[in-house]
Amino acid sequence: MASNRFKVDAKIAGLLGENYRSSEHALRELVDNSWDADSKNVWISLPPFLTPITDDFKIIFMDDGTGMTPEEVRSEYMTIARNRRERKGDNTSNGRLVKGRKGIGKFAGLFVGSTMRLETVARGKKTILTIEKEELSKAKRDIEDIDLPIEEINCNEEDGTTITIYNINQNLLYPNPERLKLILIMEYGRQDHFNIYVNNERLDVTDVKGQSFEYKEVLADLGPVNLRFVISDTSHKLRQPGISIRVGGKAVGKPTFFDVDKNNPDIPGKLLKRLYGEVEANDLLNYVTADWGTVIENSHAFVALHGFVSDKIEHAIRNEFKNEISLAKARIQKQVHIELQKLPEYKREYAKKALDKVINNFYTLPENKLRSLISVVLDTIEKDEYWEVIKALDEAQHADVSSFADALNLFGLVEMAMMSKQTASRINFLLMLQKLVNDPKTEEKEIHKAIENNLWILGPEYSIMASNVTLKTVIKRITGRNQYNGSHSQNRPDLLLTQNVLGHYLLIEFKRPSHTLSRNDIAQAADYRQEITPFLTGSAIDIIVLGGKSNINSLYSHGEGIKVLTFNDVISNAHTLLNWLLSQLNQNPSPLTRV
């Protein structure tokens, strides 16, 4: 038995490889190595998930790649941090783009377990090498001094490499086969002549998490086809979304949406990008171009396939779209209903259409951003100019088609311009408010006056709240008591009490921008709430305490229904949301202008 030692390249950046986000991501690194070895098949064996980890657990990787000779193990594998691309170029001998770059992916197995055994066969010789993480850790800077026994055996086995990982790290969650499949399908799901098996199950389209569909049919001008796809519900971004055409097991061209995106502008692009699948049509062989880049589009066979696939995916996408829109509308239905009821009846129909457009095109957004969009749309609708266009649109319905089309276009353009103008106006308001906050002379009453009719700056959920005479009277009773008169007048609180249509109350206590909020301010606000409560019935009262700075530990419990905010936080958050909204209006004009 011979022995050898690691040779440390001058570019070494770390000892035991990289840190990985999860065990599954570490195992993917070993699949990358198999890819670089021109393997056609990779087999990964994981013990059953959620079973207790025992000392005899092991993870096995096998591939049928080129393998390594004993000399290659010594000169290539045993040299750490050497860039393979610099040594052998950007492509493998079979033309694959090399994935390995840093030369330390070989240690990925040691992230999962503390012992890694390499068995590689090439040209009639098997080379065996065992690496112990503990031994490498002891070496620290002297890794090149470690003796690592290499065993050489003559054999008649096929070329390939097997890596076995022992002593699984029990401080990590055990590798999940389904999660591993999802990671691998994102990277390798579109590759020809590269099959991955996890626990003897071949990686497949349906390993993408989401709703799956399969249709088998014999088409008159083509023959048998098998369409399989998934509408993903994972947060992972799909690589090359769409439907891939496969003929004889080989992909033809790039995945496409079969013109569903072009013929159905009302379907959001974000939803289509969650489509992942393939259609097998072996009888297309005579219509594939010589470079396998596409199919002859005007052939009867392709026309039949195109109609079949586009019909199936459009139907599935529309059903998914309908379901998700329904869920989005249900989340914000109360706000929409309340706002519509506040409008004159003649405005409600068009207001509802405008809100439906927003929801249909932005339903995937977080709820706070969707509510902000709705708030801006409704503010826009209240403008007089908007209703001049609506009037023209109504009149055009009784005129010729051309006039009606022009009116529709005008409606969209004006709607877009006014929404952008409304958003820009809010941004300008924030700039002025920031100046007011930055002025050390600013008092509570000036801040109160500026914010009272602009509660949207606190967040979209507050935009439907408003003060009224009754609530102002309640506050006047509280602040007009003897304890706040005379020598105590400087302690008079500046309070704003608001209410939404559902009867929910909000009490805001304003402090000067120069004031640093403390726990005493929170206690006082809670006392004011207690004083106000007897004058009101129904919902509880939430509290916001606004000041210039805060010295309250973030771990401190403010109490039920109490928020502590600084002016800079409020302005910054509102600014971020409005800038995002303005960018959406500028980048996505067409969805919002369709009626």
DSSP code string of 48-117: PTTSPP-TT-EEEEEE-S----HHHIIIIITEET--HHHHH-SB-TTSPBP---SS-GGGTHHHHEEEEE
Q: What is the pLDDT of residue 567?
A: 93
Q: Are strands 250-256 and 242-247 parallel, antiparallel or unpaired?
A: antiparallel
β-bridge mates for residue 393, sequence order: none
Where the chain has pLDDT below 70, the residues are 1-19, 49-55, 80-89, 100-104, 137-146, 235, 346, 361, 364, 380-419, 464, 481-492, 501-502, 538, 553-559, 585-595
Reduced to 3 states (helix: H, G, I; strand: E, B; else coil), residue 150 is: strand
CA distances from 269 to 35, 153, 589 (A): 32, 57, 14
Domains of the chain with bracketed CATH: 2-198 (3.30.565.10), 205-310 (no CATH), 324-430+583-593 (no CATH), 443-568 (no CATH)
- pLDDT of 110: 84
CA atoms lying within 13 Å on the CB side of residue 37? 28
Q: What are phi and psi of 362, to 5 degrees?
A: -130, 25
CA–CA gap between residue 64 and residue 479 (Å, rounded):
82
Residue 52: which region, alpha, beta or left (left: phi > 0; alpha: psi -120 to 50)?
A: beta
Q: How is residue 389 written in tokens?
A: 């266009």
Residue 249 and residue 201 in contact, taking contact as beta carbons nearer than 8 Å: no
Cβ density class 3-35: b for 16+ within 10 Å, e for less:
ebebebeeebeebbbeebebbbbbbbbbbbbbb
The per-residue pLDDT for 151 is 92
Q: What distance in Å separates the CA atoms of residue 455 and residue 463, rounded to the nearest whole number?
A: 5
Task: Yes or no: say if 204 and 219 are a contact pair by the CB < 8 Å rule.
Answer: no
Amino acid at 150: I
Give 473-498 pLDDT, tens digit per residue.
888 877 776 555 554 445 668 888 88
- With a CB cutoff of 8 Å and minimum separation 6, the contacts of 343 are 351, 378, 381, 382
Rounded Cα distance between 555 and 549, Å, is: 16
Strand partners, 49: none
Torsion of CA 359, 360, 366, 371, to 10 degrees: -10
561 closest CA partner among 533, 536, 542? 542
Q: In terms of Cα–Cα distance, which of 76, 64, 60 is closest to 38?
A: 64
Report the C-alpha gap between 42 and 237 in whole angstroms: 24
Give the HSE-up count for residue 511: Cα atoms under 13 Å, Cβ half-sphere. 22
pLDDT tens for 526-573 read 888 888 888 887 678 889 999 998 877 654 456 678 889 999 999 998
Residue 76, CB-side half-sphere exposure with 13 Å CA sphere:
15
Q: Which two tokens stand for residue 482?
A: 């003897």
Count of Cβ atoms closer than 10 Å to residue 417 Cβ: 14
Spatial separation of the C-alpha atoms in residues 30 and 27, rounded to whole Å = 5
Buried b / exposed e across 310-328, counting CB within 10 Å, b at 16+?
A: bebbbebbeebbeebbeeb
Whole-angstrom distance, CA of residue 396 vs CA of residue 390: 10
Phi, psi of 556 (to 5 degrees): -70, 135
Nearest to 494 by CA among 450, 439, 553, 433: 450
Answer whether 160's CB lies under 8 Å from 63's CB: yes
Of 194, 205, 125, which Cα lies nearest the Cα of 157? 125
Q: What is the pLDDT of residue 14?
A: 38
Six-digit token string for 75 = 């000169």
Side chain identity, residue 293: G
List 256's β-bridge partners, or say none: 243
**C-alpha span between 63 and 120 (Å, rounded):** 10
**Phi/psi at 578 (nearest 5 deg)?**
-70, -40
Q: Are 411 and 390 in contact (CB under 8 A)?
A: yes
* CA dihedral of 381, 383, 386, 390, whole degrees rounded to 10: 70
Share in percent of the chain as helix, strand, coil (round to 5): 45, 20, 30
Q: Determine contact, residues 381/347, Cβ cutoff 8 Å.
A: yes
Q: 397 pairs with which residues across the strands?
A: none
Torsion angle of alpha carbons 484, 489, 490, 495, nearest 10°?
50
- Which H or E element spans position 125? strand 125-132
